[in-house]
Amino acid sequence: MRPARVQLAGAWKPLAHALYKLLYRSKHLSNRALAVLFAGFMVVLLFNSWLAYHSAQVQANANDRIAHTELVLDDLEAIANNLDNAETGQRGYILTGITSYLEPYQSSRANISGRLDALSSDLGNDTSQRTSLAQVNLLVNEKYGEMQQTIDLRRNGQTPQAEQIVLGGSGQQLMDQIRAVLATMRSREETLLHGEERAARASLTELSITFAFAAVVDLALLVIIGWLVYRTLHERERLLAREREAVQMRDQFLSIASHELKTPLTALLTNAQLLERRTEREGQASDASRRSVTTIVRQTHRMRMLIDAMLDISRIASGQLDVERERVDLAALARGVVGEVAASADHHAIAYDGPATPVDVVGDRMRLEEVLLNLLHNAVKYSPEGGAVMLELRNDDRDIYVMVRDKGIGIPAEDVPRLFERFYRATNAQTSRIDGMGIGLSVVRDVVALHGGEVTVESMEGQGTTFTIRMPLAPAVPDEIGAGKPEVASEVRPAVREQAS
Ligand code: ADP
Per-residue pLDDT of the chain (501 residues; tens, 9 = 90+): 445 555 555 667 776 777 666 666 666 677 787 788 788 878 878 887 887 788 778 778 888 888 888 899 999 999 999 999 999 999 999 989 999 999 999 999 889 989 999 999 988 888 999 999 999 999 999 999 999 999 999 999 999 999 999 888 888 999 999 999 999 999 998 998 888 888 888 878 877 887 788 788 878 878 888 888 888 888 889 999 999 998 888 778 877 887 888 888 999 999 999 998 988 888 877 888 888 998 999 889 888 888 888 888 878 877 778 888 999 999 999 999 999 999 888 889 999 999 999 999 999 999 999 999 999 999 999 999 888 999 999 999 999 999 999 999 999 999 999 999 988 999 999 888 898 889 899 999 999 999 999 999 999 999 999 999 999 999 987 554 444 444 333 333 322 322 222
Q: Are 207 and 54 in contact (CB under 8 A)?
A: yes
Give strand pairing partners of 460.
464
Direct distance between the N- and C-terminal alpha carbons of the chain, in angstroms, rounded to an integer: 96
Query: Cα(231)–Cα(226) distance, rounded to whole angstroms?
Result: 9
Backbone dihedral region of 438: left (phi > 0), alpha (psi from -120 to 50 degrees) or beta? left
From 308, 411, 431, mutation site for ligand 1 pocket: most ligand atoms within 8 A of C-beta? 411
Four-residue CA torsion sign, 149, 152, 153, 154: positive
97 φ/ψ angles, rounded to the nearest 5 degrees: 75, 10
- What number of H helices and E strands is found in the chain? 12, 7
Query: Cα(380)–Cα(399) distance, rounded to whole angstroms?
Result: 27
Q: CA nearest 430: which of 495, 382, 462, 465?
A: 382
Q: What is the pLDDT of residue 23?
A: 64
Distance (angstroms) between ligand 1 centre and the Cα of 219 equals 55
Return the ligand 1 atom nearest residue 410 CA: 25
Distance (angstroms) between ligand 1 centre and the Cα of 240 equals 29
Distance (angstroms) between ligand 1 centre and the Cα of 430 equals 10
Return the ligand 1 atom nearest residue 406 CA: 23
From 303, 316, 382, mutation site for ligand 1 pocket: most ligand atoms within 8 A of C-beta? 382
Nearest CA to ligand 1 atom 23: 379
Q: What is the pLDDT of residue 53?
A: 83
Query: Cα(66)–Cα(407) distance, rounded to whole angstroms?
Result: 90
Query: Cα(441)–Cα(479) distance, rounded to whole angstroms?
Result: 37
Element (H, E) at 269: helix 170-282
| Beta-strand pair 464-472/348-353 | unpaired
Buried b (16+ CB within 10 A) or exposed e, 315-330: bbbeeebeeeeeebbb
Distance (angstroms) between ligand 1 centre and the Cα of 319 equals 24
Distance (angstroms) between ligand 1 centre and the Cα of 150 equals 122
Q: What is the CA radius of gyration of the chain?
A: 53
Nearest CA to ligand 1 atom 11: 425
According to DSSP H, which parts of 414-484 are helical? 427-431, 440-450
Buried b (16+ CB within 10 A) or exposed e, 432-461: eebebebbbbbbbbbbbeebebebebebeb
Nearest CA to ligand 1 atom 9: 438
Nearest CA to ligand 1 atom 16: 426
Q: Beta-carbon neighbour count of residue 499 at 10 Å?
A: 19
Return the ligand 1 atom nearest residue 382 CA: 24
Nearest CA to ligand 1 atom 21: 378
Distance (angstroms) between ligand 1 centre and the Cα of 381 equals 9
Q: What is the pLDDT of residue 122?
A: 87
Residues, the chain: 501
Query: Cα(354)–Cα(394) distance, rounded to whole angstroms?
Result: 6
Distance (angstroms) between ligand 1 centre and the Cα of 424 equals 8
Query: Cα(43)–Cα(27) distance, rounded to whole angstroms?
Result: 25
Pocket of ligand 1 (CB under 6 A): 378-379, 382, 406, 408-411, 419, 425-426, 429, 436-442, 465
Distance (angstroms) between ligand 1 centre and the Cα of 498 equals 27
Distance (angstroms) between ligand 1 centre and the Cα of 425 equals 6
Q: CA nearest 355: which of 389, 406, 400?
A: 400
Q: What is the pLDDT of residue 156?
A: 93
Return the ligand 1 atom nearest residue 409 CA: 25
Q: What is the pLDDT of residue 180?
A: 95
